[in-house]
Amino acid sequence: MPADLVLASGSAIRATLLRNAGLSVETDPARIDEEAIRAALQAEGASPRDIADALAEAKAAKVSARRPGALVLGADQVLELDGVILTKPQDQADARAQIAALRGKTHRLLSAAVVCRDGEPLWRHVGQVRLTMRGVSDAYLDDYVARNWESIRESVGAYKLEEEGVRLMARVEGDFFHVLGLPLIELLTWLSVRGDIAS
């Protein structure tokens, strides 16, 4: 794999997934105003899928502009519940409210990735996972948020499926890598077809 695969993110889990797949990856977090982009797109009536895709592209394009010739991967994840997009919780009360809203319902996680070179998108994919949360008790919900706050504060929906958050779920339909925020299989397939990685 060329050493110029750059992840336009500070996400430790995404970097780990790529490295565990045998890729050489450098991280270079994009500094974009996600809230402003999301708000503008929502005001225009954009779908949650299009918002995830646009945020991933914005990250990849920004870093790509300062990394000539490099393949730059941008990724973003959007959680949608009954047409409403949830964002990272602001505090523990917000985290509790998000999980309470998800309890007993099915929501969608949209995991978008875009690869740019010299500011131009070369590849994109948006994966979807449907998750149904159990009707957990208020007591467990309070304890869960207090116990896991430092970990879940950066997660939409205030849970991590790869950690204790799996206990909140009754059913998960879709690719686990999409849950973790990266359509990894699709990315590896594309890199293989291009000849960037051995197959």
Q: Which pLDDT tens digits describe the chain residue by residue (199 residues)?
A: 444 699 999 889 999 999 999 999 999 999 999 999 999 999 999 999 999 999 999 999 999 999 999 999 999 999 999 999 998 999 999 999 999 999 999 999 999 999 999 999 999 999 999 999 999 999 999 999 999 999 999 898 999 999 999 999 999 999 999 999 999 999 999 999 999 888 8
Confidence at residue 199, expressed as pLDDT on a 0 to 100 scale = 83
Residue type, 128: Q
- CA separation for the pair 180, 165 (Å, rounded): 12
pTM, whole model, 2 decimals? 0.91
Annotated catalytic residue within 76, 142, 175, 196? 76
Confidence at residue 39, expressed as pLDDT on a 0 to 100 scale = 93
- Residue tagged 């225009």 (tokens): 44
Confidence at residue 4, expressed as pLDDT on a 0 to 100 scale = 61
10 Å CB burial of residue 94 (0-12, 13-18, 19+) is middle
Kind of pairing, strands 84-86 and 120-133? unpaired
Instruction: Return the beta strands (E) in the chain as ranges.
Output: 5-7, 26-27, 71-81, 84-86, 106-117, 120-133, 169-173
Per DSSP, the three-state class of 21 is coil
**Among 107, 111, 131, 106, which residue's Cα sits nearest to residue 49?**
111
- CA separation for the pair 15, 182 (Å, rounded): 10
Whether 142 is a known active-site residue: answer no
Confidence at residue 74, expressed as pLDDT on a 0 to 100 scale = 98
Q: Find the Cα–Cα–Cα–Cα dihedral 40, 120, 180, 153, rounded to 10°.
A: -40
**Among 102, 92, 85, 108, which residue's Cα sits nearest to residue 168?**
102
Confidence at residue 3, expressed as pLDDT on a 0 to 100 scale = 43
- CA separation for the pair 168, 26 (Å, rounded): 34
